[in-house]
Structure 1
Amino acid sequence: MIRYLLNKTLLSMKKRYDYDVRYMQDILQTDVKTFLKFMGFQTMSAHSGNLPAAPLFAARIRTILWDDCGPCTQLIVNMALEARVSPETVRAIIDKDLSQLPEDVALVTEFTDLVLAHNPEADDLREKILALWGKEGLISIGYAISSTRVYPALKYTLGYGSACSRIQIPDQSLPSAPLAEPAPASDKT
């Protein structure tokens, strides 16, 4: 019965966001306990703390662009639009057009990229984030960055990450490709 109810939730998500939930259904059908552990990431990724929607989605969108080439990115874009982040802001976050973003959104956009690149220049921006939103805001950004990376990694691991697509924003279509170059395969001969 619980498997049936959880699958109904997944089908609702599929319909709401036009998102392929097969990888989650695969986990659910394999083992309910394992699926419930996966749901812990849902709780973590939904955390917003005291952050407004636009900075929160700046962290999520910039993160997903590092690891995904379409479907997960589109899901987060759709969620940002649903949270009333304007299409223009979403586009500027994707394009990293900092001059078109409010100062707080530009700050999180830049900070996220520096964190993902393990760049020590993130330290200066971290202080600005702490001044704006305190530790709670910084933790919310940390949750957004770390939990967002789970989904594409899991999809690719399970064999569901091969679909690439253009990102759709109202009246616009953008190409999508991961920002980070994959590490070269090690040659162990």
Structure 2
Amino acid sequence: MFRQLLVNAARNFGARYDYDIGYLEAMVALSERGFLKLALLTPFTQERFGLPAAPYYAAKFIAARAMDCGSCAMLIIRMAEEAGVRPDALAAIARRGPADADMRLAADYAMAVITNTGELPALIETARERFGEKGLYGLASAVTAGQLYPTLKRGVGAALSCEILPAEFRETA
């Protein structure tokens, strides 16, 4: 009975966001406790620490896209849209086109964190000045959250069937 409640919760999430939750169903079947522990991370993976939705989702999207899982990146786009962030704003960030300054800073910050570039210390300071200490933690949590599920999916082989991200959300050369 409890297992079915967990599966139903995962299925509701999948239906809400048009997201394949097969790997989550498999996790429930293998370990209800493991699934519950993952579910306990959900509040953290959605915590913005006071950061506005647009820069938060810009950082989270860039982090997920870097993991090359189209379905995970699309999930974040759908969640961003639900939070009031326009998909075309994320597409502009993705293609390095003209974009909102806060979203551009968040996207650049996310890439610097992921790649550990020499620009990171300056971007941390700029983000701290722009968003405050809490906002900086919001950006860091967005990058962490954006990579958590794609990493899990890749590790269990579920990312092998990830869809390709639509062209408007891919980086241009």
- Find the counterpart in structure 2 of residue 104 from structure 1: 102
SS in 1 for 2:127: helix
- How many residues are paired up? 171
- Find the counterpart in structure 1 of residue 148 from structure 2: 150
In structure 2, list runs of 5 or more residues that go unmatched.
none
Are 1:81 and 2:75 an aligned pair? no
> In the aligned structure 2, how far is the partner of 1:133 from the partner of 1:40?
27
- Letter of the structure 2 residue corresponding to residue 109 of structure 1: A
- Find the counterpart in structure 1 of residue 5 from structure 2: 5
> In the aligned structure 2, how far is the partner of 1:34 from the partner of 1:166?
29
- Find the counterpart in structure 1 of residue 29 from structure 2: 29
- Find the counterpart in structure 1 of residue 114 from structure 2: 116
On the 8 A contact 1:166/1:176 being kept in 2, the answer is no
Partner deviation per Cα, 1:113-170 (whole Å, 9 max, x = no partner): 11111012111121121112221111111111112211111111111111243435xx
More helix by share: 2
- Letter of the structure 2 residue corresponding to residue 50 of structure 1: G
Length-normalised TM-score, structure 2: 0.91
* Percent of matched pairs sharing the same residue: 29
SS in 1 for 2:161: coil
- Letter of the structure 2 residue corresponding to residue 140 of structure 1: G
SS in 2 for 1:110: helix
> In the aligned structure 2, how far is the partner of 1:159 from the partner of 1:127?
38
- Letter of the structure 1 residue corresponding to residue 24 of structure 2: M
On the 8 A contact 1:61/1:93 being kept in 2, the answer is no
In structure 1, list runs of 5 or more residues that go unmatched.
178-189
Length-normalised TM-score, structure 1: 0.84
- Find the counterpart in structure 2 of residue 56 from structure 1: 56
> In the aligned structure 2, how far is the partner of 1:68 from the partner of 1:91?
16
- Find the counterpart in structure 2 of residue 174 from structure 1: 168
RMSD of aligned Cα (Å): 1.7
Deviation at 1:176?
Answer: 5.0
Deviation at 1:15?
Answer: 0.9
Seen in structure 2, the aligned counterparts of structure 1 residues 175 and 76 have a Cα distance that, compared at 3 Å, is: closer
- Find the counterpart in structure 1 of residue 160 from structure 2: 162
On the 8 A contact 1:55/1:104 being kept in 2, the answer is yes
Deviation at 1:17?
Answer: 1.0
Deviation at 1:175?
Answer: 6.6
> In the aligned structure 1, how far is the partner of 2:102 from the partner of 2:168?
24
